[in-house]
Amino acid sequence: MRMLEHILLKSRGKINLTLDVLGKREDGYHEIETIMQSVYLYDTVFLKKLKEDEIKIETNLPYLPTDNKNIVYKTIELIKNKYSVDFGVYADIVKSIPVAAGMAGGSSNAAVTILGLNKIFDLNMTFDEMLKLGATLGADVPFCLYEGTAKAAGIGEKISVLSSHPFVYILLVTPSINISTKTVFESLDLSGMKKRPNNEFVIEGIENKNLKMITDNFCNVLETVTEKNHPIISDLKETLNKNNALNSAMSGSGPTVFAYFKRREDAVSAAKHIKKNFDCIRNIIITRTYNPKKRIDDIG
């Protein structure tokens, strides 16, 4: 079979409907349990085989690294070394997912790069091999290989695929603040935690397509740290909930806050209200839930 010379892939973001931290492991990583959902919002990653044995990265954002600090560069380098690929790779990354915002934009870029290079170089990786490779690049990469609706455990590498999430509009609001995921995890006080996620209720809500059951049980324990350091997170949630959101929560370690809406016009109205009343907002985006066909078939 003739190998592809290039491929264009959609790299979708995610939100955390729940996020619980169970404790710190001996290797320094934190044991988590989270329910994640893909959103329709996506970056694009264009990959092209080069005759020269080199890696070239371009992006639409001038502040993003294009060397080995870029996760796509790291992914290409890892695959080239592991599978003794002598060709080079050119990657053009067009970012639409807010950067460093708790939405797994980088992890999603890495995931589609694994899928794309498997096609371009005809590596015949199994999906399990891709998952193991992805887990070495980032905790969210395995989920991003699946996409859709899933529960993740361990450090994020243990994926349990769930029923498809019911359709809903999602407003994403990213304030102009910098969050260190490492610092947030290290500052988390589990002993004083008053509210923990009830994942079984959320899973039941997803299975029964019950939006109220899902939204009533949004819970992210990392909010206790991020909200304390950045009160705008709780202010955004309160404002969104007063403007017809079914409920709102922070995704990952932040700073993106997401809110569910049954009607798009309500999401538009809430977005206008946020723009009018908050000065330091980096991104406001209206999107929706995304439930793919079997992920591996998307580029087949």
What CATH number should be reported for the domain holding residue 191? 3.30.70.890
**What is the DSSP-derived secondary structure letter of residue 235?**
H
pLDDT at 239: 98
53 & 190 share domain: no
C-alpha span between 85 and 91 (Å, rounded): 16
The residue written with tokens 């700073």 in the block is: 255
111 & 33 share domain: yes
Q: Residues with Cβ < 8 Å from 179, sequence gap 6 or more?
A: 100, 102, 226, 230, 253, 254, 255
| CA distances in angstroms from 102 to 125, 223, 286, listed in the order given | 29, 12, 16
pLDDT at 163: 95
What CATH number should be reported for the domain holding residue 111? 3.30.230.10
Q: Are 87 and 123 in contact (CB under 8 A)?
A: no
Neighbouring CB atoms inside 10 A of 201's CB total 16
pLDDT at 3: 63
Question: Nearest-CA neighbor of 274 among 241, 252, 251?
Answer: 241
The DSSP bridge pattern shows strands 219-220 and 6-24 to be: parallel
Terminus-to-terminus CA distance in the chain, angstroms?
13
User: So which residues are the catalytic ones?
Assistant: 14, 140
CA within 13 Å, CB half, 118: 22
211 & 96 share domain: no
- Looking at the domain assignment, is residue 187 inside a domain? yes
Q: Residues with Cβ < 8 Å from 212, sequence gap 6 or more?
A: 205, 246
pLDDT at 127: 95
pLDDT at 193: 84
pLDDT at 293: 72
Q: Residue 66 is encoded by which pair of tokens?
A: 């294009």
For residue 178, the SS3 value is coil
pLDDT at 190: 87
Residues (pLDDT < 70) of the chain are 1-3, 294-300
pLDDT at 211: 98
Domain extent for 222: 169-288
pLDDT at 191: 85
For residue 48, the SS3 value is strand
Say which amino acid occupies 64.
L
153 & 23 share domain: yes
The burial class, CB within 10 Å (0-12 / 13-18 / 19+), for 118 is buried
Instruction: Please identify, among 134, 162, 190, the residue that sits at the C-terminal boundary of a domain.
Output: 162
Q: Taking the model in full, what pTM does it have?
A: 0.94
Cα-to-chain-centroid distance, residue 180 = 16
pLDDT at 2: 58
